[in-house]
Amino acid sequence: MADLRVNIAGVPFKNPVIVASGTFGFGREYDRIYDISRLGGISCKGTTLHARPGNLPPRIAETPSGILNSVGLQNPGVDAFVREELPFLAEKDITVIANIAGSQIDDYVETVRRLQGTKVDMIELNISCPNVKEGGASFGTSAKSVETITKRVKAVAEQPLMIKLTPNVTDIAEMAAAAEAGGADAVSLINTLTGMKIDIETRRPLLKNNTGGLSGAAVFPVALRMVWQVANRVQIPVVGMGGVTKWQDAVEMLLAGASAVQIGTANFTDAYTPLKVIMGIEEYLDAHGESCVTDIVGKVRPW
């Protein structure tokens, strides 16, 4: 049987399948369905310095082959995460990634500071958040901003730092390069694409926030293209996500240059998707005579 183990920036994962932030909570609910220790890793629910109630409903809307969400980072805050959720995860044989969000750089820095000395194995920085000090534009839409926030957080983080990139930019590879220049140990992509849906009878958007993040199978080709572009631009590891719903998608991501994949929206339609993907990758490697999953990373052959 093929070796599924991967190592990302010095952090070991038993297999390359990670569940994505915002779709798996802190793992408790899914652990009632199957032992989450079978997963390579968990990227926990986006966590902020202080508790957040999230956006007003409606904040989820279905779209063809996907969903729009505007949940608004509802979470209990970093202190509650450390006190109430990490002990549960520490009992599991699973790599823990803390996904961090904020509205200004100091928020990110202080949140990460409070995670030092804990059982968190890696930090994933969600830079798709609006920077309130800079007029509300996302941290991730300016190369200068990406490099700055990466440097500031890297200065306080003992754990390897992974920057989660937004696709809502002209050149995502440029943003990845800025993260690398700022000292990032890895990048993950893509976060959701901004979208909208309108009820033609009420003539109002289906989301209270008017727009939201589009995820699901519909975004996969865009995500795959961006992963390929970024993998060819930076030297640090790339974790691919965006519309991965089956093992074939995961293999495509790996071939495009991802060292691991994250599965998000597919968890809502089939809770067993991550396990099916793990099994599918293993069977693919065996069928093609590959002894290690790392042997296929970046092995796409462009025309």
Say how far apart CA 268 and CA 29 lie, in whole Å.
12
- Coil, strand or helix: which one is 267? helix
Q: Which two tokens stand for residue 211?
A: 């727009």
Dist CA 111 CA 76 (whole Å): 13
The three-point CA angle 188-98-6 to 5° equals 55
Give me the sign of the Cα torsion angle 136, 77, 69, 193.
positive
Amino acid at 104: Q
User: Per the structure block, which two tokens stand in for 12?
Assistant: 């070991």
Catalytic annotation, residues: 129
Is 151 strand, coil or helix? helix
SS3 73: coil
